[in-house]
Structure 1
Amino acid sequence: MKAFWTYTLARFAVFAACFVIIWLLAQIWLESTAVTNIWVLLISLVVSSVISVFLLAGLRDKLALNVHERATRMTERIEESRRAEDID
């Protein structure tokens, strides 16, 4: 679970940083309205997603490995139970 939370918090931090930077730039050049804020949010989501693909690749790989290991252990336990039922 540690890998999940680390990756999730890193994604959130990248999004927050992008949002703050884009919001500050929008405040300088654009009039502050609800529509502007929605556009800032959407642009921040896209930019942070692109940045996360490259910047957080290592964390994402660790998370994928962790999920794979957990799935493998669960599959092994299920197979053990199946074999135990077949013996009885």
Structure 2
Amino acid sequence: MKEFVVYTALRIVLFLASFGIVVGVMALFSDGSYNLFWAVVLGFLISGVGSFFILDRQRRAFAERVETRAARASAAFEERRSREDVD
């Protein structure tokens, strides 16, 4: 669970930083006015690409945690199923 919270929080921070930079650049080059829709879209795109490279370690830790939990659940299910077969 900790890996999920860390990864999600870092994704949100990365989006907010990207969004802030995009809004700043748009406001700087367009006399203080900007289109909020395009700022959000560009913020999502930039943070998505950035997170692929920047948050690789956190994403791998989260994926390993999920894989471990799935393997444990699968093993427990198989063990319960084999007990049913014996009876």
TM range (shorter): over 0.9
Distance 1:86 1:39 in 2: 59
Alignment of 1:4-15 (within 5 A): 4-15=4-15
Residues 18-64 of structure 1: CA distance to partner in whole angstroms, max 9, x if unpaired?
0011111111112525xx11001001100110100000000000000
Distance 1:32 1:74 in 2: 53
Over the aligned positions, Cα root-mean-square deviation in angstroms equals 1.0
Find runs of 4+ consecutive structure 1 residues off by over 2 angstroms.
none
The alignment of Structure 1 onto Structure 2 pairs a total of residues equal to 86
Deviation at residue 87 of structure 1 after TM alignment: 1.1
Opposite residue 60 of structure 2, the aligned amino acid is D
Alignment of 1:6-85 (within 5 A): 6-30=6-30, 32=33, 36-85=35-84
Percent identity of paired positions between Structure 1 and Structure 2: 34
Opposite residue 25 of structure 1, the aligned amino acid is V
> Structure 1: which 5+ runs fail to align?
none
> Structure 2: which 5+ runs fail to align?
none
Distance 2:86 2:63 in 1: 35
